[in-house]
Amino acid sequence: MRRTRQTKIVATLGPATSSAAMIEKLFMAGVDVFRLNFSHGERADHKKRFDTIRQLENETGRPIAILLDLQGPKLRIGTFKDGPIELEVGARFRFDLEDKPGDGTRVRLPHPEIFKALEPGTDLLLDDGRLRLTVETCDESHAECTVAVGGELSERKGVNVPGVVLPLSPLTEKDRADLDYGLELGVDWVALSFVQRPEDMAEAAEIVQGRAGLMAKLEKPAAIDKLDEIVDLSDAIMVARGDLGVEMPPEDVPVLQREIVRCARREGKPVVVATQMLDSMIDMPVPTRAEASDVATAVYDGADAVMLSAETAVGDYPVETVTMMNRIIERVQKDPFYRETMNTQRIAPEATTADAISAAARQIGDTIEASAIVAYTTSGSTALRMARERPARPIISLTPREATARKMSLVWGVHSARAPDAHDLDDMMQTAMHQASIDGFAGVDDRIVITAGVPFGTPGKTNLLRIARLQ
């Protein structure tokens, strides 16, 4: 099965999309990566979905990536004695550690880490930023605040502290247990929530130990200050625009989205743009024109993938949503300006053999109008460097490793396939030509460009380039 687009689609599974029949429909409609959101659902539900995806993979013969998205710390207020309260602008309100229901003057905030980081003048955002309070006085057990933006406040609403690095690990006890469980299942990617600093990625990497790709979810403004270091320690990046938009002005989010995408592309790391991409299709069969433009913008920016969340997890039109996203991507990538944009945004190769070979393969492919570029890879690094070039030709990634084939399903322009290591040059060329033929990329007399490493099967040794004509 060959996709006719370069940008990939990530779809979240949930109550609306748990059956084998529905998961197959989503895959056939265009999903490349399935996301298991561990913020919701039971492990048994996720295990069932995981097994269904692997069964579908066996039936179709196509590698499918599975992304485990960890919940991360959830900062929430406590309960209220008499139900929701109304906060009036200018009123005083207190947050504290007292373990008792709140009222119109105070509520429990069971997170001492927040109080340790507060200082007068700090803003606290409640209920996804709908309410805003400013800290007047505080210590390590309470904060006296003035209501700046009021409204109704009900119990257990979320709390955000913009502009403050909280002394919190991104991995709660639940996350550590979920991570162990997911790695035991064999997920391909792990998305780490609540990333604030490079040390957060290092902490998670020590646990993962290369058993899955590690994706940093950039949803905290503090992470942007350390963007280069976080990207360097990550295997992939997710632009979590919903949470970013809570803690910073909405007008800043598109600018940051583009900055993050460019940073990830510069480093050759896959980047996913997520949150509210086709939000209206949760309960409508068509998107707004603004949403279609939003998806198109991410594609024009060169993102590796765009993600659907509630649209497919709980929406009424999950298959239609994936179909629409697929149509938008394909339409954008037929636009001549899209190719011009990719060429203009191309990043200079680094002074390495792998980058030199990748840049040469892209240029030769254009010159001879090759049908595809075939990249032999063991770890996936060769395919990643080839994708960094954003070539006009499809990339066929050939690897003997099942785990690598699955992970590459997330990467821009890569058609991932499994193939044994080549024994010699002739075997390498025959295998590449066979794969290009059976997957529909090339026919008789078509030419392909092949990159590999000698000695064969040695990771990180891309040093060979060949041109082959199919017989």
**pLDDT tens sequence across 68-109:** 999 999 999 999 999 999 999 999 999 999 999 999 999 999
Q: What is the predicted pLDDT for the residue at 451? A: 96
Q: Is 468 in contact with 30 (CB distance < 8 Å)?
A: no
Q: Give the end of a domain, one of 134, 160, 186.
A: 160
Alpha carbons 406 and 62: distance in angstroms, whole number? 9
Q: Does residue 346 lie within any of the structural domains?
A: no
48, 76, 174, 211: the catalytic one is: 76
Q: Examine the domain organization and report whether 189 and 114 are in the same domain.
A: no
Q: Give the end of a domain, one of 160, 185, 204.
A: 160
Active site residue 275: yes
Q: Which residue has the tokens 């109550």?
A: 15
Helix (H) or strand (E) holding 272: strand 271-274
Whether pLDDT at 421 is above 90: no
Q: At what angle do helices 336-344 and 289-300 cross, to 10 degrees?
A: 40
275, 312, 378, 399: the catalytic one is: 275
Q: How confident is the model at residue 212 (pLDDT cuts 50, 70, 90)?
A: very high
Active site residue 76: yes
Q: Examine the domain organization and report whether 221 and 102 are in the same domain.
A: no
3, 217, 258, 390: the catalytic one is: 217
Q: What is the predicted pLDDT for the residue at 456? A: 78
Q: Give the end of a domain, one of 110, 142, 160.
A: 160
Q: How many CB atoms lie within 10 A of CB 438?
A: 10
Active site residue 217: yes
Q: What is the predicted pLDDT for the residue at 461? A: 77
Strand positions, DSSP E, 128-253: 131-138, 142-149, 151-153, 159-160, 189-192, 213-218, 236-240
Give this prediction's pTM. 0.95
Q: Does residue 24 lie within any of the structural domains?
A: yes
Q: Does residue 80 lie within any of the structural domains?
A: no
Cβ-based neighbours of 370, under 8 Å, separated by 6 or more? 364, 393, 446, 447, 448, 449, 467
- Report CA-CA distances (Å) from 61 to 1, 11, 55, 402: 8, 20, 10, 11
Q: Does residue 79 lie within any of the structural domains?
A: no
Q: Examine the domain organization and report whether 68 and 192 are in the same domain.
A: yes
CATH number of 442's domain: 3.40.1380.20
35, 241, 269, 388: the catalytic one is: 35
Identify the domain containing residue 407 by its residue range: 353-469
Q: Examine the domain organization and report whether 209 and 314 are in the same domain.
A: yes
Pair type for strands 189-192 and 65-69: parallel
Q: Does residue 338 lie within any of the structural domains?
A: no
Q: Does residue 2 lie within any of the structural domains?
A: no
- For residue 444, the one-letter residue type is V
Q: Which residue has the tokens 């039936």?
A: 59
- Report CA-CA distances (Å) from 131 to 1, 123, 125, 148, 441: 49, 10, 6, 8, 54
CATH number of 183's domain: 3.20.20.60
Which range has the worst mean pLDDT, 198-212, 267-281, 407-421, 455-469? 455-469
Q: Examine the domain organization and report whether 23 and 153 are in the same domain.
A: no
When the pLDDT of each residue in the chain is averaged and rounded to a whole number, the result is 96
Q: Examine the domain organization and report whether 398 and 465 are in the same domain.
A: yes
Q: Examine the domain organization and report whether 21 and 150 are in the same domain.
A: no
Q: What is the predicted pLDDT for the residue at 385? A: 96
Q: Examine the domain organization and report whether 269 and 180 are in the same domain.
A: yes
Q: How confident is the model at residue 410 (pLDDT cuts 50, 70, 90)?
A: very high
- Report CA-CA distances (Å) from 402 to 54, 65, 154, 207, 408: 12, 10, 48, 21, 10
Of 264, 263, 259, 261, give the one whose Cα is nearest residue 273.
261
SS3 assignment for 8-45? EEEEEECHHHCCHHHHHHHHHHCCCEEEEECCCCCHHH
**pLDDT tens sequence across 287-301:** 999 999 999 999 999
Q: Examine the domain organization and report whether 66 and 98 are in the same domain.
A: no
**pLDDT tens sequence across 369-406:** 999 999 999 999 999 999 999 999 999 999 999 999 99
Q: Examine the domain organization and report whether 149 and 185 are in the same domain.
A: no
Q: Does residue 252 lie within any of the structural domains?
A: yes
In total, how many domains does the chain have?
A: 3
Active site residue 52: no
CATH number of 110's domain: 2.40.33.10
Alpha carbons 349 and 389: distance in angstroms, whole number? 8
Alpha carbons 471 and 468: distance in angstroms, whole number? 9
Q: Does residue 336 lie within any of the structural domains?
A: no
Preceding omega of 455 cis (within 30 degrees of 0)? yes
Q: What residue spans of 186-288 are helical by DSSP H? A: 198-208, 221-224, 227-232, 241-247, 252-267
Q: Examine the domain organization and report whether 302 and 449 are in the same domain.
A: no
Which range has the worst mean pLDDT, 79-88, 423-432, 457-466? 457-466
Q: Examine the domain organization and report whether 243 and 368 are in the same domain.
A: no
What is the 8-class DSSP label of residue 211? S
Cβ-based neighbours of 339, under 8 Å, separated by 6 or more? 392
Q: How confident is the model at residue 432 (pLDDT cuts 50, 70, 90)?
A: very high
Burial of 21 (0-12, 13-18, 19+ CB in 10 A): exposed
Of 260, 267, 315, 237, give the one whose Cα is nearest residue 252.
260
